[in-house]
Each structure stands twice: as C-alpha cells, then as structure tokens.
Amino acid sequence: MTIELKTQTEREQRLEYPTPLALSLVVPVYNEAETVRIFVEQVERVFSDPKDVTVEYVFVNDGSTDGTLELLLLLQREMPRLKVIDLSRNFGKEAALSAGLSCATGQVVVPIDVDLQDPPEIILQMIDKWRDGYEVVLGRRSDRSSDSWAKRASANWFYRIHNRIADPAIPENVGDFRLMDRQVVDALNDLPESRRFMKGLFAWVGFRTTCIDYSRAERVAGTSKFNGWRLWNFALEGITSFSTDPLRIWTYIGITVSLVSFLFAATIVLKVLFTGIDVPGYASLMVTISFLGGLQLIGIGVLGEYLGRTYLESKRRPVYLVRRIYSQD
C-alpha cells in the first residue's frame, strides 16, 4: 500500500477548509459512568464560543458493566451529535480506539480519555497548529506530577528501551491524545494488523507532526483501569510489535555464554595439568545448571512472544466486534 503525502497546493486547500470545521472526539470508555457526564459538560463549555467548529462525540463502550452504556444513551437523547459504538465484549483500549477511529467522520479526529487528565482546552491550540499545515499535533505531557512515581519511572524506562531498539521511535511523554488530519486517520484504518499497539502505529504512519506541551491533571472521578500487570503486558506488546532486537539479543547471549564456558573448560584443563585432578563441588555444578536452564527458558519465552503474535495474526480475526452502533444520523 502506498500513501502519498499532500502537496503544498493540497495543504493550502485544506487550510481554506470551509467552516464549520468537523471535529470528531474518539472516547473509549470502560466502566466510566462517574466521568462521562462531567467530560461532556467540560467539552461543551470549551466549544461553546468557537462557532467555526462542530464536535462529533464517538464514544466506544468497551464492554462496560456499570451502567456506562445506559448513561451514554441518555445523553444521546439530549445531544444528537453523540454516537455510541457498543462492542460485544471488553476488547481492550487499543481495539476500542481502533473502532472509534473507523467510525469517526470529522475532518480532524482527536482520541481523548474521558477522565479529563488531558484537558479539552488544548484541542483549540491543536486546531490552530493544524491550520498552520500540520497533519498530526501531539499533546505532550510536560508535567506528570499527578501520576505516581512508579508510573512515571516505568514510563521513562519504557520509552528509553523502546526507542533504542525499535523503529520508529515513539515521542516521549505522549499518549493517545493528539489531533489527526482525515488523511492520517484513513491511513491508520487501512493498516491490516489485528494486534494493534496504537502508539507505535501513530508513529509509524508519520506525516508532518508538531507538539503542544500541557500539564497532566488528576482524574476528575473514578479510578484508572490500568494496573501494574496490564502496563507490563502493554510494554511487552509495544516492544515486540516494532522490534526484533529481543530475538537478536539471545544470539549474543548464547555467544557470550559459550565463550565463558570455553574459558572455564580451558581453566580446568590447565588446573589439572599443573596441580592435579580437580573435582568441582555440587554447589558450583547446580548453580551452573540453574543459570543455563534459566537462560534457556527466558530465550524460549522470547521466541514464544513472537511466535504467539504470528499465530494470532495468521488467524485474521477482526480487531473487535460491534454489538450495535447507536446514532441519531
């Protein structure tokens, strides 16, 4: 598939796009009944003054069990511009985000979390950057003091490791919150893979990109659905999606272990020749066997990660299943 960038003439035509500008907000939700109404009210306040922007809400209900869907349908009666995509079960945020992008119809699309940690006010600045000719405008977190120390530290290490071994690099301290031109969204929707690490896909498609810094706020209500275990699996997904270096590393580990074993064997031979027969103790033997066995199991685990991804991709199952789309259109 070939995706051609816009020429300068096309950019100028886009900057003269007739008003009002159609903006789609893609909002994945999972058990967020406490925050949905607060989020919508805040967005409505932000866009009450600009008359040259119309907002389409694309909520993706990712298998919620707490009344989130009922609340969204109630809000839809008051706001015809609100669309609800109800997935058949909980597929995870990456799948829900993909579902929202496929149904968003706006000229510009912004994925945003419902917890208001990413301020909707920044979208107005993003639109100004888009009018300047950028296809992607990233929201970069300059202040993450609202996150725990463990979350900030693990995020920093993830970005460092991922960007050292994977291509393309992911911008640091940038989440899903960003503005994308219609052309970018169409390119993302055309990607065929079913195991989707969206931050990597956002970076992979490229396009002309800039950043806007903002301070990350506290959640307005509710609790985060990401725990340490899910974040760890998310990091593994990201690294194995865009890098084969973990496989290559085990080649070098094998060479290193073999070299150390050869040197150890040479040491024993020399010791026997000059000092007599030396019988190693059971402790050193058990340590050696355990060490090599552990290395082998880790190596098999790394191979299993990639083999498992290949197996799942080969099934060609859809990324998500939609139970129903609720729309006033």
Q: pLDDT by residue (tens digit) across 122-159?
A: 898 888 888 888 888 988 887 666 566 666 666 666 66
Quote the CA–CA distance of 278 and 132 in Å, as a whole number.
77
DSSP secondary structure letter of residue 109: E
Collect all residues with Cβ–Cβ distance below 8 Å to 81 and sequence separation of at least 6.
54, 55, 56, 57, 328
Collect all residues with Cβ–Cβ distance below 8 Å to 66 and sequence separation of at least 6.
31, 33
pLDDT digits (tens, 9 = 90+) for 155-194: 666 667 666 666 677 777 777 888 988 888 988 888 877 7
260, two tokens: 């150390």
191, two tokens: 């990607």
- With vertex at residue 9, the alpha carbon angle to CA 3 and CA 11, rounded to the nearest 5 degrees, is 65
Range from 213-227, 232-246, 282-296, 313-327 carrying the lowest mean pLDDT: 232-246
Quick check: 63 pLDDT over 80? yes
- With vertex at residue 144, the alpha carbon angle to CA 143 and CA 146, rounded to the nearest 5 degrees, is 120
The values of phi and psi at residue 45, to 5°, are: -65, -40
Collect all residues with Cβ–Cβ distance below 8 Å to 31 and sequence separation of at least 6.
64, 65, 66, 68, 222, 225
The one-letter code for the residue type at 168 is P
Quick check: 237 pLDDT over 70? no
Average pLDDT of the chain to the nearest whole number:
76
The values of phi and psi at residue 181, to 5°, are: -70, 160
97, two tokens: 């985000």
Quick check: 298 pLDDT over 50? yes
Quick check: 245 pLDDT over 60? yes
117, two tokens: 């940690």
The model's confidence at residue 3, banded by pLDDT at 50, 70 and 90, is very low
Q: Are 18 and 107 in contact (CB under 8 A)?
A: no
Question: Considering only CA atoms, which of 229, 96, 101, 235 is closest in space to residue 170?
Answer: 235
* Segment 64-80 mean pLDDT: 86
pTM, two decimals, is: 0.68
